[in-house]
Amino acid sequence: MTATPQQLADVLRPVKHVLLDFDGPVCSVFAGFPAPEVARRLREGLLATGEQAPAGVEEENDPLALLRLVADARPDLTASTDIALAMLETEAVRVARPTPGGESVLHAAALSGRLVSVVSNNAGAAIEAYLAAHGLSHYVASVFGRAPGDPSSMKPNPRLLLEAMEAAGAGPEHCIFIGDAARDVEAGEAAGIPTIGYANKSGKGIKLAAAGAVVIVDSMQLIADALV
């Protein structure tokens, strides 16, 4: 199922602007500070303010899903929950695990004269902290994290991709998005941008292909090799 170098080269040939998801393609955000632990801390913060946890919050182990849940049930708590999550994500990226080949994609994009934007449901501040800590800031033109206090901005909403495209001034025919979730592919489709599916776990490739990814890779290095 993994794309051949030729298929990748064909997909990447017209590309001037690489839009890159963060958690997955660049690093594993919650590798050192596990997502269920982050979710637990987020819940504790909510309860510490004397608030009653909305229904379903106790069982949710995905911090970003938890933010959505809070936003749906208690819009008044969205802003403060988002700020608390952004702080926890910033803590998490200090011990995140870099994705093999992720850095190479940034280098290769720069070497080949392409612009890179990071487009992610994670907090922009956390992404910028990671890039700075790893000496990668100058490879990235702009970071588009979820709109603070507005989790509806998160993919599969194409909003962040459209903002990134607008900022770069390249039309969708000159863009590629690289993501590791079906919602990335859906967001790409809604924005009119083809998406390369990064299948970093077995079984993911099928989901990404079903969602409409133009090609599937199981290694970021393959994309880096095809960019140069």
Residues at the interface with Mg ion (CB under 5 A): 21, 23-24, 180
Angle of helix 5-12 relative to helix 220-227, nearest 10 degrees, comes to 60
- In the complex with Mg ion, which residue's Cβ is closer, 77 or 182? 182
* Shortest distance, position 36 Cβ to Mg ion, whole Å: 17
CA distance 77 to 181: 27
Q: Between 46 and 193, whose beta carbon lies closer to Mg ion?
A: 193
By C-beta, is 103 or 180 nearer to Mg ion?
A: 180
What gap in Å lies between CA 92 and CA 41, rounded to an integer?
A: 12
The answer to whether the CB of 48 falls within 8 A of the CB of 72 is no
Q: Taking the complex as a whole, how short is the minimal distance between the CB of residue 114 and Mg ion, in angstroms?
A: 20
Ranges of H-type helices in the chain = 5-12, 35-48, 63-73, 78-94, 102-111, 124-133, 159-168, 182-191, 204-211, 220-227
CB 143 within 8 A of CB 124: yes
Report the nearest approach of Mg ion to the CB of residue 81 (Å): 21
Q: Which is nearer to Mg ion, 24 or 101 (CB)?
A: 24
Q: Which residue is nearest to Mg ion (CB)?
A: 24
CB of 71 to Mg ion, least distance (A): 20
| Structural contact between residues 211 and 185, judged by C-beta atoms closer than 8 angstroms | yes
Minimum separation from the CB atom of position 67 to Mg ion (A)? 15
At 194, phi and psi to the nearest 5? -70, 145
Of 21 and 60, the one with the shorter C-beta distance to Mg ion is 21
